[in-house]
Amino acid sequence: MTLSRRTFLAATLALPATPPIAEPLPLRVLARRKGLAYGCCVTCGALDQPDLAQAILREAGLLVPEWEAKRGRVEKRRGHLDFSAADRLAGFAAAHAMAFRGHALVWHLSNPAWLEEVLAAPAPDRALLTDYVTAAVGHFRGRVSSWDVVNEAVEPKDGRPDGLRDSPWLRAFGPGYLDAAFHAARAADPAAELVYNDYGLDTPDAWQQDRQRVVLRLLAGFRARGVPCDALGIQGHLKAFSGTFDAGHFRRFLGEVAALGYGVVITEMDVADEGGPADAVARGRAQAALARRYLDAALAEPATRAVVTWGLSDRTTWLKGQHPLPFDESLHRKPLWHAIAAAFAAAPPRPRK
């Protein structure tokens, strides 16, 4: 009886008789091959889970703190800035040659109670805004490649002619607070990409079209006033069983953003399955199909430079029970992972910088 070469070697050299199943290429590699970046949000708690930390290391080329760099965590006591948790995440990223995004300098949520009170007092000092931006961006100078400077400042439902959110920042300092934040960030780190970040910019649903129109006006105004904003962050919180995605509509919106001279970053992508059928396989298939359509449209726009999912595994998602991320709670790849991988593989390559 003749032995095959592999069987002979396996018998004599104790090699595995069957070849190990090749691990699929990580999302960060598939993205980088096209000149794109892929990453995910992360928390210190996620890094304390060895299996999850390992998966993040394998898959992500970019990290963003889910909450550790928000003002409610950083400045619990007025004037006492504690970046320790965000520094740990930045250190992890740097140790593994991963890019690091900052999120979020100016937001109407996740603020410390004292700040809400001071902003609501008569004639608040704009230094409450600009000093914090300067301190935070300065602290991470050279370590954060991209900042969400202002987050979710648009809300047409608040009824303002300019479509801005009636937030504590707007009430304290007027619409100019956005410009002031971006100028302070640019002065503190001229090399960092500065991003305006928002949600509800993905579909032709009427409320999203309203938001798209306001965002385009906001971005055009930045350009007219010389406000140093470099890119639009589109959060990308998608729902597989609600709303309608229209690739042509989304590509036209992205084209208008790019025509104003902005880059595009998909900053918080997840695909919720709430409202879907009981059959998990059917839900997973629908999530993957939407993700692929969404990313094909997003990546067809040359100005799109990165895709970030708001977590890597359903184990840590903020959308509990909606299974919105590429890996399940046991860190198995889901159809959604394969859809993202396929979208990167199909994406037109970006010109090398």
Q: Note the residues at the interface with ligand XIL (CB under 6 A).
A: 66-67, 104, 151, 235, 268, 318
Report the residue number, 237 or 283, with the smaller CB distance to ligand XIL.
237
Report the residue number, 151 or 167, with the smaller CB distance to ligand XIL.
151
| Residue closest to ligand XIL (Cβ) | 318
The HSE-up count of residue 324 (CA atoms within 13 Å, CB side) is: 25
Smallest gap from residue 300 Cβ to ligand XIL (A): 25
Report the residue number, 107 or 262, with the smaller CB distance to ligand XIL.
107
Smallest gap from residue 22 Cβ to ligand XIL (A): 33
Taking the C-alpha atoms of residue 283 and residue 238, their distance in angstroms, rounded to an integer, is 13
Cis peptide before 104 (omega within 30 of 0): yes
Whether 128 contacts 169, CB under 8 Å: no
Smallest gap from residue 199 Cβ to ligand XIL (A): 6
Smallest gap from residue 67 Cβ to ligand XIL (A): 5
Taking the C-alpha atoms of residue 344 and residue 27, their distance in angstroms, rounded to an integer, is 8
Report the residue number, 151 or 309, with the smaller CB distance to ligand XIL.
151
By C-alpha distance, which of 194, 311, 211 is closest to 263? Answer: 194
CA-to-CA separations, 243 to 203, 268, 274, 307, 343, in angstroms, rounded: 7, 18, 12, 21, 22
By C-alpha distance, which of 100, 25, 63 is closest to 344? Answer: 25
Residues found in the chain: 353
Whether 296 contacts 245, CB under 8 Å: no
Report the residue number, 44 or 346, with the smaller CB distance to ligand XIL.
44
In Å, the largest CA–CA distance within the chain is 93
Report the residue number, 241 or 318, with the smaller CB distance to ligand XIL.
318
Q: How many Cβ atoms are within 10 Å of 157's Cβ, its own excluded?
A: 12
By C-alpha distance, which of 181, 264, 276 is closest to 238? Answer: 276
Give residues with Cβ within 8 angstroms of 225, minimum separation 6.
Answer: 179
Q: Enumerate the active-site residues.
A: 152, 268
Smallest gap from residue 151 Cβ to ligand XIL (A): 5
Smallest gap from residue 196 Cβ to ligand XIL (A): 12
Taking the C-alpha atoms of residue 230 and residue 30, their distance in angstroms, rounded to an integer, is 25
